Amino acid sequence: MKIFRKSIMGLALGAALTMGLAGVSQAAGQELKIAFPVDIPSWDPTAVTFPAGQSIYKAVFDSPLFVGDDLEVAPRLIESWEWADDQGLALKVTLRESVKFHDGSALTAEDLKFTFERAVNKKTLALNGMLPTLASVEVLSPLEAVIHFSSPTPTATKGLAFLSAYILPKAYFEKVGEEEFMKRPVGAGPYKLSDYQRGSRITLEAFEDYWQGAPAMKQVVFEIVPDSSARVAAVESGRVDVSVQIPVREITRLEKNPNLEAKVYPYSEIYILQMPSYGESFNSVHVRRAMNMAIDKAGLSRAFYKNAAQPLSVLATKGSPGDVADLNIPFDKKAAAEELAKAGYSTQNPLSITLYSTNNTFPSDYDVARAVAQMWSQIGIQTTVEEITVAKYLELSHSSKLTGVMLYSWANATGDPEIFTGRILDPRLRFSTWKEERLAGMLDELNRQMDEGKRVAGYQALNREAAEQAWSLPLLQSISTIAYKKGLELNTYQTGYILPQEYSWR
């Protein structure tokens, strides 16, 4: 009897181990598992601006235009385009031939018209806000259309490559209705959605008729793993092939693992310190300049980002159009203290402020805040760090009730200065904290300027002034992290997109 029981237990344990190990030694065939930090809110990619989830949308849907690693706008579903006038009110586009949706139907200008006019009519869709001047789409032929804008929109092409810009299938959408579309979405992207478990797992099957060719990875699974330590454990144990957004110190550790590659790479996003113009402590330009000069940005990059995060002096990423290459605000503690003294503050008579920061929203956010607080305290700005969520910060900012500085990350996959400075400093927008009223008119003009050279020069001048006035303090260009199994051919991009359709096993 005892032997029987023992053998049963032995079998059970053996079964458990084999089941467990079977899960670990994955078929390095054509399946790919990615540990991803967030789930998308819904399967309508035009409804939300959700930078973190764009990689998932780009697997199932496709966009009119696309921004690559060089931050240039490239053809995608739209093959070519030209302005029909010189005021930026009508953009003539030619769609790519032979593009199919997952249900086999052909993509035509009618689908473009349907998607965009749906956004025009529904203010709750994010696409409405991302292309605010969109008026209508005129179909000329199955593959040609003219997009009409209500006012000059020189950055229309950037908008067509950015958040929420995707083309939905008109016939399928109208046939099944919105609710059913959300459960069984159909797009023109490289993968079809085969199973969706909310908050847990997204299973995708390769779309053989994808216009760029069928992807090498036939099945891609996005495992939604919100906890960063669990994502690290997942790639280390081999349960997933790729893990993204893991802490930078883990990258250092994983680099030594012979089975894994681990990378820190630059990302088209900037870490900035947002200041409320309505906050008394920040009224003096001397205080703001002192705050700027007291931060050792290179030191922050060294300490928290393995030196991969580029220090910034203007509200633009290095190499992007709005960047002013020769402007550099150096780290100078002495000069900072002197500047602060002009406002009447010093270590003997310190100014007290609060620095708000998120924790674990972007890599090392809280650590950076604490370091900056230390740097400021050393010159006479007594800083208390307070933890806050993005939602809470947005609420304070939108109702103009922000009482301190906020460490914020500003994503902009296009690199265009309109989406950096143009939004950060527009006093009318809910997202800006520094309200300099005269900038409203200046930005309106810049955003209507069809001459790209003049537009860029205008933004560069604005960036110069913003740096001198220290309206918002740029810190570093963001970095993104990734760890993956050796043997996987994988590209990383400044836009931060994870594009499994391009991956293959060596």
Partner 1 sequence: MKNVFLLLGRKFVFVLLTAFLLSMVVFFMLRVIPADSLGMMLPPSATEADAQALRVALGMDGTVLHQYKVWLSGALRGDLGNSIFFHQPVTGLLGQALPPTLELACISLLLALLISIPGGVVLYLLDKKKIEFAADFVLVLLLSVPSFLWGIILIVVFGVLFPILPFMGRMEGTPVVDGGTGFLLVDLLVRGQWQAWWDAFSHLLLPALALALAFSPIVIRVLRSSLIETANSQYVNVARLRGVPEWRVLLVHMLKNAALPTLTLIGVQFGFLFGGTLLIEVIFSFPGIGNLMVQAIKNHDLPLIQGVALVFCMMVLCVNFCVDGLYSVLNPRLRSA
* Least separation in angstroms between CB 315 and partner 1: 14
* Least separation in angstroms between CB 101 and partner 1: 22
- Using a 10 angstrom Cβ sphere, with 0-12 exposed, 13-18 middle and 19 or more buried, the burial of residue 108 is buried
The SS3 call for residue 48 is: coil
* Least separation in angstroms between CB 220 and partner 1: 14
The structure tokens 């402590």 sit at 281
Binding-site member from 100, 306, 370, 423 for partner 1 (CB under 8 A): 423
Binding-site member from 5, 24, 27, 280 for partner 1 (CB under 8 A): 24
Q: Which of 148, 152, 151 is nearest to 136 (CA)?
A: 148
| Contact range with partner 1 by CB under 8 A, out of 103-111, 119-127, 249-257, 295-303 | 119-127
Interface with partner 1 includes 237 (CB under 8 A)? yes
User: 175 to 234, contacts with partner 1 by CB under 8 A?
Assistant: 182, 195, 197-201, 203, 223-227, 229-230, 233-234
* Least separation in angstroms between CB 237 and partner 1: 5
* Least separation in angstroms between CB 49 and partner 1: 5
Output 3 or 24, the one with its CB closest to partner 1: 24
* Least separation in angstroms between CB 463 and partner 1: 18
Binding-site member from 307, 431, 454, 468 for partner 1 (CB under 8 A): 431
| Contact range with partner 1 by CB under 8 A, out of 238-246, 314-322, 369-377, 473-481 | 238-246
- What lies within 8 Å, CB to CB, of 374 at 6+ separation is none
| Contact range with partner 1 by CB under 8 A, out of 39-47, 138-146, 168-176, 291-299 | 39-47
Interface with partner 1 includes 130 (CB under 8 A)? yes
- What lies within 8 Å, CB to CB, of 88 at 6+ separation is 149, 152, 153, 154, 156, 448, 450
* Least separation in angstroms between CB 35 and partner 1: 8
Rounded distance between C-alpha atoms, residue 342 and residue 285, angstroms = 10
Binding-site size for partner 1 (CB under 8 A) equals 63
Rounded distance between C-alpha atoms, residue 114 and residue 139, angstroms = 10
Output 340 or 402, the one with its CB closest to partner 1: 402
Interface with partner 1 includes 35 (CB under 8 A)? yes
Output 99 or 388, the one with its CB closest to partner 1: 388
Whole-number Cα distances in Å, 472 to 283, 291, 315: 12, 11, 8
* Least separation in angstroms between CB 189 and partner 1: 20
Output 236 or 296, the one with its CB closest to partner 1: 236
Residue type, 69: D
C-alpha triplet 81, 139, 146: angle, nearest 5°: 35
| Contact range with partner 1 by CB under 8 A, out of 19-27, 51-59, 206-214, 448-456 | 19-27
Output 34 or 355, the one with its CB closest to partner 1: 34
* Least separation in angstroms between CB 110 and partner 1: 25
Binding-site member from 72, 395, 445, 468 for partner 1 (CB under 8 A): 395
Q: Which of 105, 106, 75, 107 is nearest to 93 (CA)?
A: 75
The structure tokens 């009110």 sit at 89
Binding-site member from 10, 14, 29, 129 for partner 1 (CB under 8 A): 129
Rounded distance between C-alpha atoms, residue 357 and residue 406, angstroms = 6
User: 43 to 102, contacts with partner 1 by CB under 8 A?
Assistant: 44, 47-49
Interface with partner 1 includes 132 (CB under 8 A)? yes
Contacts 24+ apart (CB under 8 A), 256-259: 258/486, 259/485, 259/486
Output 128 or 313, the one with its CB closest to partner 1: 128
Rounded distance between C-alpha atoms, residue 391 and residue 395, angstroms = 6
**Residues β-bridged to residue 366:** none
239-258 mask for partner 1 (x: CB under 8 A)? xx------------------
Binding-site member from 1, 3, 4, 123 for partner 1 (CB under 8 A): 123
Positive or negative torsion for Cα 393, 399, 401, 402:
positive
In eight-state DSSP terms, residue 299 is H
Residue type, 446: L
Binding-site member from 2, 4, 98, 124 for partner 1 (CB under 8 A): 124
Please list, residue by residue across 97-106, b when 16 or more beta carbons sit within 10 angstroms of its beta carbon and e when fewer do: eebbbbeeeb
Whole-number Cα distances in Å, 75 to 158, 160, 165, 234: 11, 10, 13, 36
Output 17 or 214, the one with its CB closest to partner 1: 17
- What lies within 8 Å, CB to CB, of 48 at 6+ separation is 40, 41, 42, 126, 164
H helix or E strand, kind and range, residue 288: helix 285-293
Output 33 or 297, the one with its CB closest to partner 1: 33
Residues that bind partner 1 (CB under 8 A): 15-17, 19-21, 23-24, 35, 39, 41-42, 44, 47-49, 123-124, 126, 128-130, 132, 163-164, 182, 195, 197-201, 203, 223-227, 229-230, 233-234, 236-240, 389-392, 394-395, 397-399, 401, 419, 423, 428-431
